[in-house]
Structure 1
Amino acid sequence: MPKCTRWVAAGRQMLAYALVAWGASAAAQHSALPDTISKVKPSVVIVGSYNPTAAPRFSLRGTGFVVGSGNWVVSNAHVLQAPGSAPPQGQLVVQVRTGPETFQTRAARVLDKDVFHDLTLLQIDGPPVPALSLADSDRVKEGQELAFMGFPIGGALGFSSVTHRAMVSSITQARLPSAQSGQLNERAIRGLREGNFQIFQLDATAYPGNSGGPLFDPVSGEVVGVVNMVMLKGARESALSQPSGISYAIPARHVREMMARQRP
C-alpha cells in the first residue's frame, strides 16, 4: 500500500475513533442529567421579598443556589435591585425546598454584593440546606455541554424549577451595566477601572426569573457559572415573545472570590 494511502486510512480511522468517543461522551451526559437534576434541585432556591400587607405577599425576584456550609445563597446583584429601578418592597427572603412541591420561607440578609460581576452572597436563617460544589470555571471550554436550573417567568409557571441544556458558544469579554452611584463602593469602582472580564455566552434561552440560577456540569452537578442575563431583540417584553436564544453566565471563579472574602 502506498505511504500516502496508509496516511489517509490512518487519518480516517483516527477520525472514526474521535467521533465514537464524542458520541459516547454526549450519550453519557444525556443519560446522567436526570440523576444530576435530582441532586441539584434541593440546592436551588427562590429569592424574593415578603410583604404581609401586599397581595400577593410573596414576590419572586429571581433564582439562587446554596453554597458553603449550607446557609449561604448565591444570586445576581440585580436580583436584589435592578439598576435604575426602585427598591423592592418587603423583607428579603429565600424559599428553600422542603419537598417535591413545597417550600419554606427563610429570612435572608446580604453578606456581600459584587456589582461589577453582578453577584451577591446572602445569609439565610435556619438549618443548613444541601449545598452545591463549585468547579474550576477556568477549565470550561467553548463547545462544552452544560445545563442550568431556575424559576423562569417570575413564577407564572408555578414555583417549579426548570432545567435547560446549554452549550458554551463563546467565552467572550463583557462589561455589565454599571451600577447607580448610590450602589458603588470601593471594590466596584476599582473593578470598573480594571476593565472587562470574561463571561460565558450560551446557546440557550433564559427568561426573567432564571437570573441567579446555577450553570452546572450535567454529569457531576458542579457549578461553573451563574446565569446572568439574556440578549433581547427589542424591549424587555420580547424576552418572552421573541427570545433570542442567547444567554450569558458569570464564571464561578468570581463566586469563589466573593466567598473567600467572608472567611478570616
Structure 2
Amino acid sequence: MQDFRLDRRSFLAAASAGLAGVAAGCAEPQADSSIEGDSSYDPNHDNLATGSAFTELYNAIIESVTQVRVFGIEDPDTGVEGRGQGSGFLYDETHVVTNDHVIGNGDAADIQYINGDWAGTRLVGRDYHSDLAVLEVDHVPSGVPPLSLSEHRPVVGQQVAAVGNPYGLEGSMSAGIVSGVDRRLDIPQRQFSFSNVIQTDAAVNPGNSGGPLVDLEGEVIGVINAGGGDNLGFAVSARLAERVVPALIESGSYDHSYLGTRLRSVDRLVAEANDLPEATGVLVTAIVDGSAAAGVLEPSRRAIERRGESIPVGGDVILAMDGEPIPDRHALSTHLALETSPGDTLSVRLRRDDETITRTLTLGARPSVSR
C-alpha cells in the first residue's frame, strides 16, 4: 500500500510545476501503526453537551462508515509484510466503497463497523484511474443504512465533513468547506491524473482514505483519497463515483475515455508566443502513437523561452468538445471523465494556423497500468 501524501514543501513544488497534489490517507505497510481507540458507539448517553448540525450529521451517518484493514501488504523496498488501514462506507446492502490504493497489493481485507462488529470481504472490483474499489461484505449490522451519492454538484463554500479513521482513530469527523471543484490532480508517482476532484479544507490524514466526504444532508459528495498539506484534502467526486462504482460491482472494472495527448492550458505566455487572440483553450503539445488523437490533431513542434520558461509553439488549440467550451485542462479532463465513454465520437472545435476548424475523433480507452 503506497502513501502518496506530500509534505508542504513537496506539495508547493509540485503545484508550482503545474501539479496539483497527491494523495493518500492509508498507513504504510507495517505491523500496526494505528492508535487504538474504543470502537463501540452509543449515541444515547445521558448528560451529553449540546451539539450542532454536525453532531446530528455524525449520528445519522457514522454507523455506515467503516474501517478497512488490509493484510499481506508487502513493502516494495524491504519485502516485509504487514498491514495497512483506511476507511470506507456502505454503498448498498452488501458493498463497501473504499480507495484502490487502500487495497494496494494486499491479499485480504476486513472491515469494522463503529459498533465493533467485524466482517470479512471479497474484492469485487477496483479501478486505478479513479482510485476506487468495491468490497463485498459478509455481514452488515441490522438497521445500518447505505449512504447515498449526491446528485448535486458541489459548490465552493459549501459546508462538508470528512468522516473516517485517521491514524486508526475510529469514527472521527472533521468539518470544513468545499475549497475547489473540478480539480485535475497530476501526481508524480502516477501515470495518469485524477479527474473531477473536489478540494476541501476539512482535515484529511493517513487513514481517512476511502471514507466519505459528506454534505450536511448526509449525502456523499466525494470519496476521500488525498491529503496534500495543511487545509488541503481531496476527494473523488460523487459524479465520477456514480459512473465507476456500478461498473465495478457488475464487471469488476471500468473503462475510462482516452484522448492520447499531452496538453497545456493556454495562459498569457502561451497565447503571446502563439499569437493567439485570447488566453483560453488547451494546446496539444504531444500525441501518443496509435491513440484517438493520432492523425486527427496536430501537436506543437518546437518551444521558445519566455521569462525563463519553455513555451510550446504551434499545434492545435482545443476550444470546445461537442459544443462544450474547453477553457483549460481541468475542463477537458472533466468533460472526458463525466460526459464520454470509450468508442464515443467527438466533435472537436480547434484553432490551427490562425483558422478555427472542426474535426471528429473516436475515443479510445485508457491503457491498463501495471501495479
TM above 0.5, one fold? yes
Residue segments in structure 2 that go unaligned for 5+ positions in a row = 1-50, 73-81, 252-371
The one-letter code matched in structure 2 to 1:66 is L
Aligned ranges 1:65-76 → 2 under 5 Å:
65-68=89-92, 70-76=93-99
Residue segments in structure 1 that go unaligned for 5+ positions in a row = 1-29, 52-57, 82-86, 182-191, 233-243
Match of 1:63 among 87, 93, 96: 87
Shift in alpha-carbon separation, 1:178–1:119, aligned structure 2, 3 A: farther
The one-letter code matched in structure 2 to 1:229 is A
Match of 1:213 among 211, 214, 229: 211
TM-score (normalizing by structure 2): 0.47
Q: Partner of 1:164 in structure 2?
A: 174
Q: Does the 8 Å contact 2:62/2:171 carry over to 1?
A: yes
Using CA pairs under 8 Å that are at least 6 residues apart, name the structure with larger relative contact order, 1 or 2. Answer: 1
The one-letter code matched in structure 2 to 1:95 is Q
Q: Does the 8 Å contact 2:96/2:136 carry over to 1?
A: yes
Match of 2:157 among 129, 140, 143: 143
Q: Secondary structure at the match of 1:231?
A: strand
Residues 69-128 of structure 1, C-alpha deviations (whole Å, 9 max, x = no match): x211011111011xxxxx34x63111123x3xxx12211111111211111111111246
Q: Does the 8 Å contact 1:116/1:178 carry over to 2?
A: no
Aligned ranges 1:4-83 → 2 under 5 Å:
31-49=52-70, 59-68=83-92, 70-81=93-104
Q: What count of residue pairs does the alignment treat as equivalent?
A: 189
Q: Does the 8 Å contact 2:183/2:199 carry over to 1?
A: no
Residues 183-213 of structure 1, C-alpha deviations (whole Å, 9 max, x = no match): xxxxxxxxx5xx7622111123211001111
The one-letter code matched in structure 1 to 2:146 is A
Bigger share in strand: 2
Q: Secondary structure at the match of 2:241?
A: helix
Q: Secondary structure at the match of 1:247?
A: strand
Q: Secondary structure at the match of 2:53?
A: helix
Q: Partner of 1:116 in structure 2?
A: 129
Q: Does the 8 Å contact 1:74/1:255 carry over to 2?
A: no
Q: Partner of 2:183 in structure 1?
A: 173
Residue 235 of structure 2 corresponds to residue 222 of structure 1: no
Residue 238 of structure 2 corresponds to residue 252 of structure 1: yes
Q: Secondary structure at the match of 2:117?
A: strand
Match of 2:149 among 134, 153, 156: 134
Question: For the residues of structure 2 that align with 1:50 and 1:260, how far apart are their CA atoms?
Answer: 26
Q: Identity rate of aligned residues, in percent?
A: 30
What displacement does 1:60 show? 4.5
What displacement does 1:62 show? 0.2
Question: For the residues of structure 2 that align with 1:96 and 1:196, how far apart are their CA atoms?
Answer: 29
The one-letter code matched in structure 2 to 1:133 is S
Match of 2:110 among 74, 78, 93: 93
Q: Which has more radius of gyration?
A: 2
Q: Secondary structure at the match of 2:113?
A: strand
What displacement does 1:32 show? 2.3
What displacement does 1:263 show? 4.8
Q: Does the 8 Å contact 1:228/1:249 carry over to 2?
A: yes
Question: For the residues of structure 2 that align with 1:151 and 1:197, how far apart are their CA atoms?
Answer: 25
Which has the larger displacement, 125-134 or 140-149? Answer: 125-134
Q: Partner of 2:119 in structure 1?
A: 106
Q: Secondary structure at the match of 2:66?
A: strand
The one-letter code matched in structure 1 to 2:221 is V
Q: Does the 8 Å contact 1:45/1:96 carry over to 2?
A: yes
Question: For the residues of structure 1 that align with 2:200 and 2:190, how far apart are their CA atoms?
Answer: 27
Question: For the residues of structure 2 that align with 1:147 and 1:127, how far apart are their CA atoms?
Answer: 23
Q: Secondary structure at the match of 1:117?
A: coil
Q: Partner of 2:367 in structure 1?
A: none
Q: Partner of 1:187 in structure 2?
A: none
Q: Does the 8 Å contact 1:112/1:258 carry over to 2?
A: no
What displacement does 1:63 show? 0.4
Runs of 4+ off more than 6 Å: 178-181
TM-score (normalizing by structure 1): 0.64
Q: Secondary structure at the match of 2:145?
A: coil
Residues 31-64 of structure 1, C-alpha deviations (whole Å, 9 max, x = no match): 422111011100000101357xxxxxx9441000
